[in-house]
Amino acid sequence: MDYIEEFISYLTVEKGLAKNTILSYGYDLKHYLAHLAKIRKNLLKIKHQNVTDFLWQQKLEGLNPRSLYRLIETLRHFHRFMVAEGHMATDPTANLIPPRLTTKLPHKLSLAEVEKLLNSCSGDREREVRNRAMLELLYATGLRVSELVTLTLDNIEFNLGFVRVIGKGNKERIVPIGKTSRHYLQKYLPFRAKRAKDGTRDLFLSKLGKKMSRVEFWRQLKNYAVRAGITKEITPHVLRHSFASHLLAGGADLRFVQEMLGHSSITTTQIYTHVDKEHLKDLHKKYHPHG
């Protein structure tokens, strides 16, 4: 029996997890089962010691704490599932304790840097117009890049000024878009109409008329960052972080930002309050006589 396939089906159908999360679970489990096969251990008969030996080996081989944490969570969910389905009598991960992770504050751009980035993507050619529309929408809404590139024409409501997003776990949320973002989207639509083939409804299209990929958009973003003279590490997620941080710095309610970002827990959103506190510390250090 293919236990991984059964578990993945459970995660997809019953838990509704995001595709990338499920891929990560699958990768971890294949690595785990390959290890058990190598040491000739029957999955259905392993003990707590077998699991901890495997994890210790991963740590010795240089697995970083965050990846180790994910691996432990994968094994815990998998074995819990195996017991629930009656494949195993006991859970060998029941007493596993994940390592404590230090909170990693997200990178963000300043308001001035965001303006430089957006202005570096100016021009009337199709590529510039499309990319400016994508950047403006990303910063205006805080979408994940996977959500951005999967948008369709049907997701945008121009008259009411919002975008309908299908996020992690197939959850839908409504996010407002401002006048600037709508302006650049409408400027892009005539170019899109010329590229659209076979009645496609995808919003952002490549020069071949296919849906823009995450990798291609990331490559374009890096080029504009260089053009703007931004030396910070920049990814599409940095614009999402900047969106959230700038909203909170401007006085937005934390619950409002949580809803916009599509976080299931407000604890995830609270990290951006720490980012703002770091900004306050920087200002204090810069301007206070004894800073």
Q: Looking at the structure, tell me whether residues 151 and 271 fall in a common domain.
A: yes
Q: Looking at the structure, tell me whether residues 128 and 50 fall in a common domain.
A: no
Q: Looking at the structure, tell me whether residues 72 and 134 fall in a common domain.
A: no
Number of domains in the chain: 2
Q: Which of 80, 87, 214, 237 is catalytic?
A: 237
Q: Looking at the structure, tell me whether residues 115 and 7 fall in a common domain.
A: no
The span from the first CA to the last CA of the chain, in angstroms, equals: 64
Q: Looking at the structure, tell me whether residues 123 and 267 fall in a common domain.
A: yes
Amino acid at 134: M
Q: Which of 70, 79, 132, 144 is catalytic?
A: 144
Q: Looking at the structure, tell me whether residues 116 and 79 fall in a common domain.
A: no
Going by C-alpha positions, the residue among 47, 42, 5, 44 that lies closest to residue 25 is 5
Q: Which of 182, 192, 240, 246 is catalytic?
A: 240
Question: Active site includes 240?
Answer: yes
- Kindly list the distances between the CA atom of residue 28 and the CA atoms of 7, 24, 61, 261, 271, in Å, as whole numbers in the listed order: 13, 6, 15, 27, 27
* Cβ pair 108, 210 in contact under 8 A: no
Q: Which of 76, 116, 168, 214 is catalytic?
A: 168
Q: Looking at the structure, tell me whether residues 250 and 156 fall in a common domain.
A: yes
Per-residue pLDDT of the chain (291 residues; tens, 9 = 90+): 588 889 998 888 777 777 788 888 999 999 999 999 999 999 999 999 999 999 999 989 888 888 888 899 999 999 999 999 899 999 999 888 777 765 555 678 888 999 999 999 888 999 999 999 999 999 988 898 889 999 999 999 988 888 998 877 777 888 889 899 999 999 999 999 999 888 899 999 998 889 998 888 988 999 999 999 998 888 888 888 888 888 888 888 888 888 888 777 777 676 766 655 555 455 445 554 544
Q: Looking at the structure, tell me whether residues 59 and 154 fall in a common domain.
A: no
Question: Active site includes 263?
Answer: yes
**Residue 29 sits in which domain range?**
3-84
In a domain, 105, yes or no: no
* Cβ pair 144, 169 in contact under 8 A: no
Q: Looking at the structure, tell me whether residues 194 and 253 fall in a common domain.
A: yes
**Looking at residue 39, which CATH number applies to its domain?**
1.10.150.130
Question: Active site includes 272?
Answer: yes
pTM of the predicted protein model: 0.64
